[in-house]
Amino acid sequence: MQKGIIGKKIGMTQIFDETGKVIPVTVVEAGPCVVVRKKTLENDGYEAVQLGFGDIRAKRVNKPLRRYFEKAGVALKRTLKEFRLDDISGLNVGDIVKADTFAEGDIVDVCGTSKGKGYAGTIKRHNNARLKETHGSGPVHRHAGSMGACSSPSRIYKGKGMPGHLGAERVTVQNLKIVKIDAENNLIAIKGAVPGPKNGTVTIVDCVKKA
């Protein structure tokens, strides 16, 4: 059965396996999440569950969203995510999903928002080479240089690597292995790096492909 949960990235550390080998892991506070809505094939055209994660004060929630939670009969939550799972028959509105829904050894996909790095040039954003700093390069040794568009077509082709906003994008890292689970504290240790900054919200979904 496919599984999913919302969590918060705590940070990175390292743990040791049975042979004493060091494993770098990312610790995620996964859940507890509450089922806010259940979508069915008859009413919505597809099957999915909507989970809520993280408490929030009522003054920070607008009235329509507040009534949405009241209608579901659940407490206000900061983050809402929808999961299209293979089988949602075992989940109903108000059910709690915790970290122990996963098991050690599960292969998961983790989705998060990468760190925002602001406005960046082509060298940092696209790994372009810079000009030589000798023989008259002047103050433009980190500029993008000629675009190669003359009188025809007299424009920049779509997709050209240009300066612009870097980071703050949705990134999915696939086929990560769950190394350890602390069910009491709702913590999951995932091997490798998980996208996003510290305390950033991430989504963990059981991967169909198994190792």
Residue 210's pLDDT is: 44
Mean pLDDT, residues 113-136 taken together: 88
What ranges do the domains of the chain cover? 4-116+170-206, 117-167
In CATH terms, the fold of domain 4-116+170-206 is Elongation Factor Tu (Ef-tu); domain 3 (2.40.30)
pLDDT digits (tens, 9 = 90+) for 145-203: 777 767 777 788 888 889 999 999 999 999 999 999 988 899 999 999 988 888 888 88
HSE-CB for 31 with a 13 A CA cutoff = 26
Burial-class residue 83 by CB neighbours within 10 Å (0-12, 13-18, 19+).
Answer: buried
**Whole-number pLDDT of residue 25:** 93
| φ, ψ dihedrals at 62, nearest 5° | -70, 165
Alpha helices in 57-174 (DSSP H): 63-72, 122-126
Average pLDDT over residues 67-88: 88
Tell me, what's the pLDDT at 90? 83
Residue 1 confidence (pLDDT): 57
Q: Which pLDDT belongs to residue 211?
A: 41
> Are residues 50 and 37 in contact, defined by beta-carbon separation less than 8 angstroms?
yes
Q: What percent of the chain has pLDDT over 70?
A: 97
Instruction: Give the pairing of strands 77-83 and 48-55.
Output: antiparallel
Q: Which residue type is seen at 111? A: C
One-letter identity of residue 18: E
Q: Which residues of 41-78 are buried (b: 16+ CB within 10 A; e: fewer)?
A: eeeeeebebbbbbbeeeeeebeeeeeebbeebebebbe
- Is residue 207 within 8 A of residue 116, CB to CB? The reply is no
Beta strand extents in the chain (DSSP E only) = 4-16, 22-30, 33-39, 48-55, 77-83, 96-97, 107-113, 116-120, 164-167, 170-182, 187-191, 201-206
Bridge partners (DSSP) of residue 13 are 25
In whole angstroms, give the CA distance from residue 207 to residue 190: 13
- Give percent of the chain above pLDDT 90: 40
- Tell me the per-residue pLDDT of 42-73, one tens digit each, with 9 for 90 and over: 888 888 999 999 888 988 989 999 999 988 88
Q: Answer for the pair 26, 12: CB distance below 8 angstroms, yes or no.
A: yes
Identify which of 163, 170, 173 has the alpha carbon closest to the alpha carbon of residue 118. Answer: 163
User: For the chain, first and last CA: distance in Å?
Assistant: 16
Predicted TM-score (pTM) of the model is 0.80
| Mean pLDDT of the 27-55 span | 89
